[in-house]
């Protein structure tokens, strides 16, 4: 029996299509068949358009037959968090307020994926206005974890994490303001890369807090992530914060290996926040990395919590500025926890907001010159606790009691939005109840290639990423 | 002196023309005070000439240093 194309990696299916061993229509049908079986269980799509996806797949197959290959993603079905604008198309941002809103511009990342030959299967569920770390959504229904639907997917790119893990799409875009790519990647057992601030254009991506927003890929393998990043990275004149740094060959660099790579490991106060079962999987990941030739070094204790409140101030002030008109006129069209989390930004002094922004430079310099002075990468947990259930993390019903849980989920995430450093969440095992565990590798500015090389070496030596969730489980 | 819920409620009405229920004003007063104090305390480390754009400059400078010496 021929293998199910949906279970192939993005890189494998891209090669199969390029070699004409598989058509784009076949790959797209395989994804659509899986979506049909899984959507009722996961609720990871807000909208999908099978007809349009198949029509584009047929067009791409015909072009390939004529010798025209658009790019490295020719004929690959993807799906993206419903916050990337496409001119003329509805983009809800996971909100009630924008349920019927149509964009008048197309996000640069979608333009680039289109040009590289990708197909968009549909738009994925997300936290309302990208505000939420769990995957709950009052308006479109909660997104559910494919390893166990009672558990949270993480957010805000909830559908991206769940769809890629369940093999409903070969890859997905997410956006990360305080962990929103890396948390769902970790909770669903896929890779999630938050690039350096400015590496990937934010033009046409719905803002959560523009100073901290990062766009990046979620995929099953490091090679898949490298392929996606190769297409979306690079200067964009439409984004004033876009970097002019040259884009390296992410795919070509994967085989370099990690011999001699200097990895900083945690000691000190942050360790107390890590659950023992998670700590065991993190320890095992370090043993693998060491066996691959990496050099492990204890790093000076750093209290990540100190970045946390500064980032929180920036998020609240920017979100409040964006939303204040709707907060005043249409407050009932926000979930309570989404509305209330922005309110502090309406009254915090402007001086505090500017001071928080101004501290990013000196604190980044300090982090690079002290913590990372003699190392290449820092090894951190992704989510330091076992993945919690949807019920345990429902702010609408549980109220403020779960805020402490949220802070723990985001503790190792938000600081790197504040510092703008690249960070990747890499699956490294499962807890006793079958939910994924991940570690996070944080690099210096614009070292995404090195992070992907590390992830690739780790995945070559392990098989956590090859496990596939089952509807029968 | 702690920020009182009533002061916060009046301030919200004055600057944003938004009314807050008493219980919500009490919660929000705690949150605003926490964030205000956290940033104010941290900002004592700021030099007079530091501005927000220094962050992007440091990211770029580091990338150039990496390209130059491979660090």
How many residue pairs from chains A and B have C-beta atoms closer than 8 A?
121
Each residue's pLDDT tens digit, A262-276: 999 987 655 667 999
B1 interfacial to chain A (CB closer than 8 Å): no
Element at A359 (helix H, strand E): helix A350-366
Strand partners, A270: none
Average model confidence (pLDDT) across chain B: 91
CB A194 within 8 A of CB A214: yes
The Cα of A360 is separated from the nearest Cα of chain B by a number of Å equal to: 6
The Cα of A341 is separated from the nearest Cα of chain B by a number of Å equal to: 9
- The CA-atom distances, in angstroms, between A439 and each of A156, A174, A325 are 19, 18, 40
B33 interfacial to chain A (CB closer than 8 Å): no
- Which residues of chain A lie closer than 8 angstroms to B27, CB-CB? 340, 400
Average model confidence (pLDDT) across chain A: 95
The Cα of A337 is separated from the nearest Cα of chain B by a number of Å equal to: 12
Three-class SS of residue A186?
helix
B8 interfacial to chain A (CB closer than 8 Å): yes
Contact (CB<8Å) B38/A324: no
Chosen for mutation from A235, A242, A352 (greatest number of chain B CBs closer than 10 Å) is A352
Residue linked to tokens 């956590």: A464
| Residue A268: per-residue pLDDT | 63
Residue A366 buriedness (CB in 10 A; 0-12 / 13-18 / 19+) = middle
Active site residue A240: no
| Residue A404: per-residue pLDDT | 83
Phi and psi (nearest 5°) for A94?
70, 15
| pTM of the shown model | 0.97
Contact (CB<8Å) B52/A358: yes
Diameter over CA atoms, chain A: 66
Give the residue from chain A lying closest to B12, CA to CA.
A347
**Which member of A306, A359, A364 has the closest CB to residue B46?**
A359
Contact (CB<8Å) A359/B42: yes
Angle, to 10 degrees, between the axis of helix B5-16 and the axis of helix B22-42?
90
Contact (CB<8Å) A245/B27: no
**Which member of A352, A361, A447 has the closest CB to residue B58?**
A361
| Residue A121: per-residue pLDDT | 98
- Which residues of chain A lie closer than 8 angstroms to B7, CB-CB? none
Strand partners, A378: A264, A442
Tell me whether the omega of the peptide bond preceding residue A358 falls within 30 degrees of 0, making it cis. Answer: no
**Which member of A241, A347, A348 has the closest CB to residue B56?**
A241
Q: Of A359, A360, A372, A340, nearest to A420 (Cα)? A: A360
Q: Of A357, A327, A416, A396, nearest to A97 (Cα)? A: A327
Active site residue A194: no
B65 interfacial to chain A (CB closer than 8 Å): no
- Which residues of chain B lie closer than 8 angstroms to A354, CB-CB? 52
- Which residues of chain B lie closer than 8 angstroms to A328, CB-CB? 16-18
Give the residue from chain A lying closest to B16, CA to CA.
A346
A423 interfacial to chain B (CB closer than 8 Å): no
Provide the chain B residues 42-61 that lie in CB contact (below 8 A) with chain A. Answer: 42-43, 45-47, 50-60
| Residue A396: per-residue pLDDT | 77
**Which member of B39, B47, B59 has the closest CB to residue A313?**
B39
- The CA-atom distances, in angstroms, between A49 and each of A120, A141, A161, A182 are 9, 19, 20, 27
Residues of chain A predicted below pLDDT 70: 1, 268-272, 399-401, 473
**CB within 8 Å of A190: residues ≥ 6 apart:** A161, A164, A165, A218, A219, A220, A427, A465
Cα B32 to Cα B30: distance, rounded to the nearest angstrom: 6
- Which residues of chain B lie closer than 8 angstroms to A329, CB-CB? none
| Residue A270: per-residue pLDDT | 58
- Which residues of chain B lie closer than 8 angstroms to A210, CB-CB? none
Q: Inform me whether the pLDDT recorded for B7 exceeds 70.
A: yes
Give the residue from chain B lying closest to A240, CA to CA.
B56
Active site residue A156: yes
């Amino acid at each position: 029996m021929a293998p199910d194309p949906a279970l192939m990696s993005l890189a494998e299916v891209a090669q199969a299509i390029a070699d004409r061993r598989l058509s784009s229509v076949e790959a797209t049908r395989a994804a659509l068949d899986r979506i049909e079986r899984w959507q009722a269980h996961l609720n990871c799509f807000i909208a999908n358009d099978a007809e349009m996806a198949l029509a584009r797949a047929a067009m791409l197959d015909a072009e390939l037959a004529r010798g025209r290959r658009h790019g490295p993603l020719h004929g690959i079905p993807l799906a993206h968090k419903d916050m990337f604008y496409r001119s003329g198309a509805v983009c809800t941002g996971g909100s009630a307020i924008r349920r019927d809103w149509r964009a008048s511009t197309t996000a640069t990342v979608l333009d680039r994926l289109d040009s590289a030959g990708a197909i968009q299967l549909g738009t994925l569920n997300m936290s309302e206005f990208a505000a939420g770390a769990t995957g709950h959504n009052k308006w479109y229904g909660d997104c559910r974890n494919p390893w166990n639907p009672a558990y949270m997917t993480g957010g805000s790119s909830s559908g991206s994490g769940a769809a890629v893990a369940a093999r409903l799409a070969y890859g997905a875009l997410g956006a990360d303001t305080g962990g929103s790519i890396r948390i769902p990647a970790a909770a669903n057992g896929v890779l999630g890369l938050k690039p350096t601030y400015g590496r990937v254009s934010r033009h046409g991506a719905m803002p959560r807090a523009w100073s901290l927003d990062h766009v990046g890929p979620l995929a099953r393998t490091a090679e898949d992530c490298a392929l996606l990043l190769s297409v979306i990275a690079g200067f964009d004149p439409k984004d004033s914060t876009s970097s002019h740094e040259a884009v390296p060959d992410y795919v070509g660099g994967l085989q370099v290996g990690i011999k001699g790579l200097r990895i900083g490991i945690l000691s000190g106060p942050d360790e107390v926040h890590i659950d023992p079962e998670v700590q065991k999987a993190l320890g095992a990941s370090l043993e693998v990395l060491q066996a691959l030739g990496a050099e492990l070094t204890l790093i000076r204790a750093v209290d990540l919590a100190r970045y946390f409140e500064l980032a929180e101030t920036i998020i609240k002030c920017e979100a409040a500025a964006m939303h204040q008109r709707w907060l005043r006129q249409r407050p009932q069209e926000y979930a309570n926890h989404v509305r209330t989390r922005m309110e502090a930004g309406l009254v915090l002094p402007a001086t505090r907001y500017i001071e928080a922004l101004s501290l990013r430079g000196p604190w980044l310099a300090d982090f690079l010159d002290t913590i990372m002075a003699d190392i290449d990468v820092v090894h951190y947990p992704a989510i330091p606790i076992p993945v919690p259930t949807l019920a345990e993390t429902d702010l609408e019903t549980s109220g403020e009691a779960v805020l402490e849980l949220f802070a723990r989920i985001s503790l190792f995430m938000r600081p790197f939005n504040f510092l703008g450093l690249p960070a990747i969440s890499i699956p490294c095992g499962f807890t006793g109840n079958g939910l994924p565990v991940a570690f996070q590798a944080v690099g210096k500015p614009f070292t995404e290639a090195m992070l992907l090389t590390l992830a690739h070496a780790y995945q070559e030596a392990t098989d956590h990423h090859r496990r596939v969730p089952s509807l029968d489980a | 002196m702690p920020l009182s819920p009533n002061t916060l409620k009046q301030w919200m009405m004055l600057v944003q023309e938004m009314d807050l229920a008493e219980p919500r004003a009490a919660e929000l007063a705690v949150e605003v005070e926490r964030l205000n104090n956290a940033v104010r305390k941290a900002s004592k480390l700021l030099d007079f000439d530091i501005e927000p754009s220094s962050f992007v400059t440091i990211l770029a400078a580091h990338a150039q240093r990496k390209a130059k010496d491979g660090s």
